[in-house]
Amino acid sequence: MKNNSVKTIVAIGIGAALFFVLGRFVAIPSPVPNTNISSQYGLLAFMAAMFGPVAGALIGLIGHALIDFSYGWGIWWSWVIASACFGAMMGLVSKRIRLADGEFTGKDIAIFNLYQVVAHILAWGLIAPVLDIVMYAEPANKVFVQGLVGGLANIVTTAIIGTLLCIAYAATKPKKGSLKEEK
């Protein structure tokens, strides 16, 4: 989607606010301490697919930082950075799918979900745990379990929520060539 800077800035603000609300008030605790089943990554994947990698990164960064800040334990930068990386990676899918054109076919759904699975694996299976170890000297077994549980939950919620948001958005857009000039 070709966006001007004002649209992108507004999308970042709205996306970060919605990410915060979903992450703070709609999160479901998992059996693993400090790890939630999060609905906000479906929204982030959708917004990043619409507005690109910079918007995706900033929505993830700002939204996740606000969630951590609101809990009062301080900002856990390793996971905030992982959210930003996930958003940036999902923004790259915008060049592969036709969501902005009102198209979101089976092929687009497969591409979107392939990207989100890979992005979640990288974010929660590699980036967050490694940064936890480097930045906070956390034990490796703890952070890789947290990353695995969080990543798997995020894959499922993104597959459902992100895909449904993309389908709903595409349904609202007129398809290319579907409008005919009246004579």
Neighbours of 60 (CB within 10 A): 32
Name 79's Cβ contacts closer than 8 Å, sequence gap at least 6.
64, 68, 128, 131, 132
Q: How far apart are CA 20 and CA 75, in angstroms?
A: 13
Pick the CATH number of 5-172 from 1.10.1760.20, 3.20.20.210, 3.30.465.10, 3.20.20.30: 1.10.1760.20
Mean pLDDT over the full length of the chain: 93
140-151-123-65 Cα dihedral, nearest 10 degrees: -90
Q: How far apart are CA 151 and CA 1, in angstroms?
A: 28
pLDDT at 1: 46
Whole-number CA gyration radius for the chain: 17
Q: How confident is the model at residue 173 (pLDDT cuts 50, 70, 90)?
A: confident
Structure tokens at 146: 């947290």
pLDDT at 25: 95
pLDDT at 100: 81
Q: Of the given ranges (8-22, 122-136, 161-175), which has the lowest mean pLDDT?
A: 161-175
Give residue for tokens 């969080």: 150
CA 100 vs CA 33, 87, 127: distances in Å? 39, 18, 30
Q: Where are the beta strands (DSSP E) in 8-159?
A: 28-29, 36-37
Query: Any idea where the domains of the chain sit in the sequence?
Result: 5-172
Q: What is the pLDDT of residues 7-45, one digit of tens each?
A: 999 999 999 999 999 999 998 988 888 888 899 999 999
Name 46's Cβ contacts closer than 8 Å, sequence gap at least 6.
161, 162, 165, 166, 169
In the chain, % of residues over pLDDT 70 = 94
pLDDT at 177: 64
DSSP state of 94: G
Q: What is the pLDDT of residues 79-105, one digit of tens each?
A: 999 999 999 999 999 889 988 888 999
Of 100, 75, 83, 105, the closest CA to residue 38 belongs to: 83
pLDDT at 182 over 80: no
pLDDT at 181: 63
